[in-house]
Amino acid sequence: MSAGSNPLAGTVVAFPGRGPLQVGFDRLELQRILDLYGRMVAAGFWRDYAMDFGKEAANFSAFRRAAERPQARVEKRPALRGKQGMWTLFGEAGQVLKRGHELAGVLSPLERKLLKIVED
């Protein structure tokens, strides 16, 4: 059977009776986050990033400089999916800037930084 005809090709499946050992980002989520990161780098806001994958949550942190604390951190915590939403955006001081069920809505405060007023 070829990989193209196998619906589970490229999918990590946990053993029966065991939950996943870590939370991660799927391809579309990571693509969305890295697209924003690239635009923020081009605009001069960010210069480095880090990702952390734990048992409870996955984090993407963006830095102005590598030696600083993150300017922004996006957290995916699936256990909160049914409550306030599994996505959280944290600011530089660790404050919660936005929570939600959709990644796009949580990233919107960062997207606004990229908007510039264009005059005729």
Question: Taking the chain, what is the end-to-end CA distance rounded to the nearest angstrom?
Answer: 59
- Enclosing H/E stretch for 114: helix 103-114
112 CB burial (10 A radius; 0-12, 13-18, 19+): exposed
Determine how many CB atoms are found less than 10 A away from the CB of residue 11: 7
The residue among 116 and 37 whose pLDDT is bigger is 37
Domain chopping of the chain, boundaries: 27-114
For 44-83, what is each residue's pLDDT tens digit?
889 999 999 989 899 999 998 767 788 999 999 988 888 8
Of 20-29, 54-63, 74-83, 108-117, the poorest mean pLDDT is in: 108-117
For 92-105, what is each residue's pLDDT tens digit?
888 999 999 999 99
**Helix or strand or coil: residue 27?**
helix
